Amino acid sequence: MGTVELFTIGGGEYIVNVLNAVAAWTGAGGYKSLLQVVLVMGLAYSVLIVAFSLDWKAWLHWFLQATLMYMVLMVPRLDVHVTDRINPSLAPAQVANVPLGLAMMASFTSQVGDYLVRSSELVFGLPGDLDYSGNGMIYGSRLFEATRSLRINDPEFAANLDEHFKQCVFYDVLLGRYSMETLAQAPDLWMSIGVQKGPPIGVQKGPRLSSGVTGMAGVPFALVAA
């Protein structure tokens, strides 16, 4: 059993799942029985044509079509290796027992598309960060989604920053000392949220920053920022 390669730019895991589903479906006994029923119906139709129109070519047409569809496109199987340009570490990327017709058509069309994309990027000289083959069609959406999943690894730093937001930034916004629009348009957001706009407000600092001590809002931020 041979192996063909299928190229895709993103969505490799979905293609693997679809091919696995097709391989499982076409390998089941019910699918083979359905094919046999369809072939028998085709034979009966060709018999009726020969009986009423005396067109003996109907036999030949049925035989050639049935042989091509069943013995060439359905029965032979190939393994398909899915190569995702955006996710080279895709695993599992190998799908076994895919019908030859689907495997060859998918491999051929994907290789043509992959060649056209990579050659056009080479000719037009796009920056690496804008290459379609490296980022896919929804690069902006994926980048935005990635920014929403950012997390602070240091638990104490995360706790101190969270307290600063609750006790300093939120109250300054509620009291009108600055607005969310001002923060959104600030050239340096980190320093903007660290500037105390009003009277000092107490903040509980983490244990590494003098456990149990309540300090001014600007002080713990300076320690956090350091």
How confident is the model over 84-95, as pLDDT tens digits? 888 888 888 899
CA–chain centroid gap for 197, Å, is 44
Average pLDDT value for residue range 190-207: 62
- pLDDT, residue 213, reads 36
40-44, 92-96, 110-114, 143-147: lowest mean pLDDT where?
Answer: 143-147
Domain boundaries, the chain: 3-134, 155-225
Cβ-based neighbour number of residue 14 at 10 Å? 11
pTM: 0.53
Q: State how far the Cα of 65 lies from the Cα of 11, in Å rounded to an integer.
A: 34
pLDDT computed for residue 216 by the predictor: 40
Q: Among 28-37, 41-50, 106-115, name the most confident range.
A: 106-115
Question: Which of 14 and 131 is assigned the larger pLDDT?
Answer: 14
